[in-house]
Amino acid sequence: MNKKILLIAAMLLSGLCSMQAQIEVDDEEDEDDVELMEGDDDEEDEETDEVTIIDQEGNEEEFEFPEAMDYDLDSLLNLYHSKTYLTPDDDCRMTDENPVFSKEVYIDRLRRMPTIMEMPYNEVVEKFIERYTGRLRHSVSFMLGAANFYMPLFEEALEAYQLPLELKYLPVIESALKPSAVSRVGATGLWQFMLTTGKDYGLQVNNYIDERRDPVKASYAAAHYLSDLYKIFGDWNLVIAAYNCGPANINKAIHRAGGDKDYWKIYPFLPRETRGYVPAFIAANYVMNYYCEHNICPMRSQLPLKTDTVVVNRNVDLRQIAAVLGIDIEMLRALNPVYRRDVVPGLTKPTAIRMLPNDVVRFIDQQDSICNYNASNYFAKRDEVEVDEGRPVVVRSKGKTTRSKRQAARSKKARRQRTAKAGSVTVRKGDTLGAIAKRNGTTVAKLKKLNGLRGNNIQAGKKIRVK
């Protein structure tokens, strides 16, 4: 009797409680008959973070859901663009009822999608489809609305590098279309660039600017990176897996799989999250095309107003602009996501600020007033400071007043230097003409001539000329 056991280790978050569900497949009569034994799915707060598959030999294959699949819906709806340009579609009646379809229906739908990349069906892919169309259906509704903002940008960048347009759904699993997304390992932006990779592909990152958050620049950088990965692997499934975990990990997995370059063959040798990455990508393509069949209504989107840019060559804080021109600071931040601390570092190099066209005109007219508004509060760094070495520092301790030894030493040294500049020095106890000559860059003969000395005897405390 052949038996396959599919064990799903689930972390179900509801307060401090956790539950576990198990799926068993009994192939005694028919290998295709599947019996599911799951925990209670009525709990809205239940979240499955990882899945473990145990094959016939008892080997475990684990994968995790991508981090963006756990983003809180409220955090997505509270984004400025979401609050301003997205609303529920009252003409579309969305329920929480998700229809159940057979394996053959999923296979047929995936086959009919106009994709260059391979979109096969298997039980892992179906698990991700169920996740998107079930517990994440309201997040999918948000992403379908937000797609109107970003998909044209993604498609232009992909088309520029002649890449499959279905790659535009990578940010769905990378960031849930949240432009300010930052992963637990520091990957940032819609395309979740790591710092080093972003810089390798021309994205500037410093204390004030992070171009990984720029939807346009990051999209072209991502398309360039994906193009380079395809030159390495020549297989799109391996390309997007490498996008997730890096080419080195893919090469190691290929080596461990005996040189096989099929993603589904190297799957057990990949990092856990990457095992779920390609299935999640296939599921994202599916749900963004077949949402209607699962009773999911896209949020109604209103395209943002047209914007313009103005270039500045001095530092200005977005809060200065907001205060003087009476602009919503959240709107300014949403239009200029690259500025990490609200500071536009125009002094470093000419830098662009994006605003509504009318605001650009007002900014040009009032630029001096804006830059001078509370400038000392927004830019507290001093350009020049004076060092006062002559004033003693008083330290009060246990009711006594003492002089800082370090400051006293500096003051004493400064006085000696000033005296030396004046042309004379005070003879120290134990000094010799040779020592004084060496300290002041002269010779014993010159010292004798300047001071009318016949011998080498000098008296401590007396001043002698050195210049």
Which active-site residues does the annotation give? Answer: 174
Exposed (0-12), middle (13-18) or buried (19+): which is 299, by Cβ within 10 Å?
Answer: buried
3-state SS, residue 11: coil
The structure tokens listed for 274 are 């990457």
Q: Name 53's Cβ contacts closer than 8 Å, sequence gap at least 6.
A: 6, 7, 60, 61, 62, 124
Q: Give counts: helices (H), strands (E), the chain.
A: 21, 15
Please name the amino acid found at residue 301: S
Q: Name 432's Cβ contacts closer than 8 Å, sequence gap at least 6.
A: 456, 458
Check: CB of residue 336 under 8 Å from CB of residue 122: no
CA dihedral 186, 187, 193, 198 (to 10 degrees): 0
Supply the DSSP symbol for 392.
Answer: P
Phi, psi of 27, deg, nearest 5: -100, 20
Instruction: Characterize the bridge pairing of strands 343-345 and 424-426.
Output: unpaired
Q: How many residues does the chain have?
A: 467
- Count other Cβ atoms within 10 Å, centred on residue 274: 25
Instruction: Characterize the bridge pairing of strands 351-355 and 308-312.
Output: antiparallel
What is the CB-side half-sphere exposure of residue 196 using CA atoms within 13 A? 2
Check: CB of residue 336 under 8 Å from CB of residue 359: no
Kindly give the interhelix angle for 123-133 and 277-289, rounded to the nearest 10 degrees: 50
Please name the amino acid found at residue 103: K
CA dihedral 203, 208, 214, 218 (to 10 degrees): 20
Phi, psi of 398, deg, nearest 5: 55, 40
d(CA 291, CA 293): 5
Among candidates 381, 369, 374, which has minimal Cα distance to 345?
381
d(CA 241, CA 196): 18
Check: CB of residue 327 under 8 Å from CB of residue 310: no
Check: CB of residue 71 under 8 Å from CB of residue 176: yes
